[in-house]
Amino acid sequence: MTFNQHHNLSQQLQTSTILVVDDNPTNLEVLSATLENHGFTVSVAIDGENALSQAEYLNPDLILLDVMMPGIDGFEACRTLLSNPKTQNIPVIFMTALADPMEKVKGFELGAVDYITKPFQQEEVIARVNLHLRLSFLNKTIAEQNQRLEQQVAERTAALTQALETLQRSQLQLVQSEKMSSIGQLMAGIAHEINNPLGFINGNLSLAQEGFTNLLDHLQLYQAEFPQANDKILDHAESIDLDFLIADLPKLTKSLRVGCDRIKDISNSLRIFSRSDTERRVRFRIEEGLEVTLMLLRHRLKAVDQIPEIHIVKDYGKLPEIDCYAGQLNQVFMNLLANAIDALHSSGYTASMVKRGEAKQPTIWVKTEWIHCEPKLHDIVRIAIRDNGLGIPPHLQSKIFESLFTTKPVGKGSGLGLSISRQIVEETHGGKLMLTNTSSEGTEFTIEIPVHEIENPSEKN
């Protein structure tokens, strides 16, 4: 239990109202004095009818109810209380001098939470009252937390789902038209919007986990302290598979945590991809840029209807960090990988053809290596991205880097992607972007970036 919860519980106990119902004035006087001496607010009723009206009006936190009374006896009063939506959640403790166990069973079957035997022992009365007030408060707290959490999770999940769907639609549209600067800004904004509700959900999930743990601990303590449960309680425990719930609730909250961590990974990938390092050089790990780009394109790699799954084969060498404009290089990786995916999707191969062995498994190979050069030259990081699609026809190969040239259908590309990518690699980073292999077995693009900083020609002015 957290400090705030413990503080709230203490305040709740100190301000609790207890309704005492007994037709014996002496009993009323003794019980009232005992309870008031311990800080409780006490109301009294001398018969069942008066008890029902007071319970509905006062909404007490607990009712001490005598069994044997003229008119409406305690059993009938309890039945009426628990059938009334306004009073059905008020815990009822019976008071009786009856020694017949069946009478107690009857009370428990009606919904009473406990019994106090006359003549009263003041310490027992206070102990049982405190116990059931605590249980009632904890049950209400857990129920309220669960309700709030379910509502928050539903609202945030709907918002996140809508945001992710919007992201995917926008991402596909922008990648196809190669407007990479726009998609970077969009991803940064969505990552920020995801992180805000995600932090809210994570915080409440931690409270829920702690609440579940406290409730289960308290339940197990109660079972240990009061092991002789009646048949109704045992039957109810069996009907709800209590042992399974006790074992499964921690797994449930753990799975929710895994889901939140997955959303956090996606959000971090968006943040890294859309990093604002487009206007200044930073130290950057090439593998990080490739991995986050593949993460963002993962939904396009999956099998959909008759479009087969695209496999990714990674062969990363041991690379140094390089001085570069990280956000711009991420745009290059996105262009080349998205083009490879487009090429494989347009190959005409279906999932059933691949399964029957009539077509090759669509695959993209991503390879990186560190090329050590002569002392007077800069070392080079080389990135090769290859697919096994249909390749680029020979008569078009010389045109693919031209601005506004595209082999894609109308509306699927602006013809700027490879042109902008070459500008980023060669003019901004002093490297090379080359079409190194194309045939009926696919296409390969190679990027070479100097490891050490190369002066940007545009910065000379």
Domains of the chain, CATH where assigned: 3-120 (3.40.50.2300), 135-272 (no CATH), 277-459 (3.30.565.10)
208/49: higher pLDDT: 49
What gap in Å lies between CA 4 and CA 9, rounded to an integer?
Answer: 8
CA atoms within 13 A on the CB side of 381: 23
Find the range with the poorest average confidence among 197-201, 274-278, 301-305, 389-393.
Answer: 274-278
What gap in Å lies between CA 370 and CA 378, rounded to an integer?
Answer: 11
The answer, yes or no, to whether residue 249 has pLDDT greater than 70, is yes
The answer, yes or no, to whether residue 404 has pLDDT greater than 50, is yes
Find the range with the poorest average confidence among 44-48, 323-327, 376-380.
Answer: 376-380
Query: Are the CB atoms for 253 and 208 separated by under 8 Å?
Result: yes
Task: Give 220's strand partners.
Answer: none
Beta strands 380-387 and 62-66, pairing class = unpaired
How confident is the model at residue 137, as a pLDDT? 85
Give pLDDT tens digits for 337-376. 988 998 888 887 788 888 888 778 889 999 999 988 776 5
Query: Are the CB atoms for 440 and 390 separated by under 8 Å?
Result: yes
Residue 399: CB atoms within 10 Å: 13
What gap in Å lies between CA 417 and CA 317, rounded to an integer?
Answer: 27
Give pLDDT tens digits for 68-89. 888 888 899 999 998 998 888 8
The answer, yes or no, to whether residue 458 has pLDDT greater than 70, is no
Find the range with the poorest average confidence among 239-243, 319-323, 339-343, 350-354.
Answer: 239-243
How confident is the model at residue 187, as a pLDDT? 60
Report the mean per-residue pLDDT for the chain: 79
What gap in Å lies between CA 452 and CA 371, rounded to an integer?
Answer: 13
Mean pLDDT in residue range 125-150: 86
The answer, yes or no, to whether residue 21 has pLDDT greater than 70, is yes
Query: Are the CB atoms for 357 and 305 separated by under 8 Å?
Result: no
Band of the pLDDT at 181, cuts 50, 70, 90?
A: low
